[in-house]
Amino acid sequence: MDFAVIFVIAVALSFDYVNGFHDAANSIATVVSTRVLTPRIAVVWAAFFNFVAFLVFGTAVASTIANDVVVQSVLSIGVVFAGLIGAIAWDLITFWLGLPTSSSHALVGGIAGAAVAKAGFGVLITEGLRKIGVFIVLSPLIGLAVGMLITLAIYWVFHRNRNIERLNRGFRRGQLVSAAAFSLGHGANDAQKTMGVILALLIASGHLAPGSSTPLWVVLCAHTAIALGTLTGGWRIVKTMGSKITRLQPVGGVAAESGAAITLFATSIGGIPVSTTHTITGGIVGVGAARRLSAVRWGVAGRVVWAWVLTIPGAFAVAWLTMQAVDLLS
């Protein structure tokens, strides 16, 4: 394997590491804010389930990223590199400007932008991009509906129970399971996006034949990178997440995480890359909306809509420019 391929794989794994670093807060915010676990133990819990996700889910999302965004013949080391740089740069720009973003959508926009810069719009696979686009909108709506329905079901089942203290204790334990389930879904969906990029790179560089499945070492590297990111970074930003959208009790934490986890499991099995941030945001909004609409801080929900509009075109533009620079330099 030559140096360029190893270098781009390292960039892809760095992207995965940053994803874990940044998104760990989503996995553990509710368990920390409801004081079920300390931040340090919570990140170990989340990182463990991020890593073991490869034992539960296949690699359908990786295959979608590698095969269904742009035609494989246009993929080269330069295109994959420019796509990754587009996604990373867009994430950093939006982080600096305080704009909402999604690493997953940035990656899709980045790969598409770099491929278009190389060979024009004809290389985009409209069916694959349409599937991803539809679920950008649907995944938070599904997370919201499932989170709300679980909350209503819990209220309906336990509304006669007067021992609130005991009930809360039960749901605090339940949060360990729901947080684990969400981390499993996060590991499955997000680590697979990086696997997809590395798979595309290995096919483009001739190390794998077109249509090959993801090698085990790629699966293990991607899950290790996201788990290490979660382990090292999550606790720094988790403190602000738990009460950002709506104030959560243990019962709400269980409902929000379960709603998001169900959405992530279904989309991972269906091979659909979705934003874990948007999905858990939907779940938390669903818990707030089950009480009353004013319990939800709609500014945060509105930022998700902005992320839908901005991220793919933004990462597309940065990757397009990067590809032009790569072409000039080579």
Partner 1 sequence: MDRRAAFFLVAALVSAALIPVSVGFGWVAATVSVVYLVLALGSWLDARSHRRF
**Residues of the shown chain interacting with partner 1 in the complex, contacts defined by CB under 8 A:** 127, 130-131, 133-135, 137-138, 141-142, 144-145, 148-149, 270, 272, 289, 292-293
DSSP structural state of residue 70: B
Minimum CB–partner distance for residue 144 and partner 1 (Å): 8
Q: Which is nearer to partner 1, 144 or 254 (CB)?
A: 144
Minimum CB–partner distance for residue 108 and partner 1 (Å): 16
d(CA 147, CA 245): 14
Minimum CB–partner distance for residue 142 and partner 1 (Å): 6
Q: Which residues lie across from 70 on neighbouring strands?
A: 124
Minimum CB–partner distance for residue 330 and partner 1 (Å): 37
Q: Are 287 and 151 in contact (CB under 8 A)?
A: yes
List alpha helices for 205-275, DSSP H: 216-238, 250-269
Q: Which is nearer to partner 1, 131 or 303 (CB)?
A: 131
Q: Are 288 and 245 in contact (CB under 8 A)?
A: yes
Q: Long-range contact list for 133-138, CB < 8 A, 24+ apart?
A: 133/312, 135/267, 135/272, 135/273, 135/274, 136/105, 136/274, 136/275, 136/278, 136/308, 136/312, 137/308
Minimum CB–partner distance for residue 148 and partner 1 (Å): 7
Q: Which is nearer to partner 1, 218 or 301 (CB)?
A: 301
Q: Which is nearer to partner 1, 189 or 194 (CB)?
A: 189
Q: Which is nearer to partner 1, 90 or 135 (CB)?
A: 135
Minimum CB–partner distance for residue 146 and partner 1 (Å): 9
| Phi, psi (degrees; rounded to nearest 5) at 124 | -75, 140
List alpha helices for 77-215, DSSP H: 77-97, 103-119, 126-158, 164-204
Minimum CB–partner distance for residue 193 and partner 1 (Å): 19
Q: Which is nearer to partner 1, 49 or 135 (CB)?
A: 135
Q: Is 241 helix (H, G, I), strand (E, B) or coil?
A: coil
Tell me how many degrees the CA angle 12-108-211 measures, rounded to the nearest 5: 75
Q: Which is nearer to partner 1, 261 or 285 (CB)?
A: 285
Q: Which region, left, alpha or beta, applies to residue 118 given φ > 0 means left and ψ of -120 to 50 means alpha?
A: alpha
